[in-house]
Amino acid sequence: MNIYLGETGLDRTWQESFKPTTECKCGGEARIMFVAIEETREGDFVCNLRDNGGEGDFWPHDAIACAVYLCKKCFEPITIINQA
């Protein structure tokens, strides 16, 4: 897994680019801290940590990209993931 700090990681994704900010549950603005992405085909993967049980027990089924944001209003971390 590779880690990209701040906006350098916004394009490190398996789907559309991550945004530099996102809305927090409190209504505040959360700013990007880092993106973690499984870019290699070797090693351990999040999807292998447990089974995907389906509805009510979802889990990633492939390599992931994970953007972690921090709300400037309530200091709560917000995470957005996508998968290959």
Model confidence at 66: pLDDT above 90: yes
DSSP per-residue string spanning 24-57 = -TTS-EEEEEEEEE---SSS--GGGSS---BTTB
Answer yes or no: are the C-beta atoms of 63 and 13 closer than 8 Å: no
Stretch 38-53: mean pLDDT: 86
Model confidence at 28: pLDDT above 90: yes
Residue 74 CA to its chain's centroid (Å)? 20
Nearest to 67 by CA among 44, 34, 21: 34
pLDDT band at 20, cuts 50/70/90? very high
Range of the domain at 64: 2-83
If one counts the domains in the chain, the total is 1
Model confidence at 16: pLDDT above 80: yes
Model confidence at 53: pLDDT above 90: no
How much is the pTM? 0.89
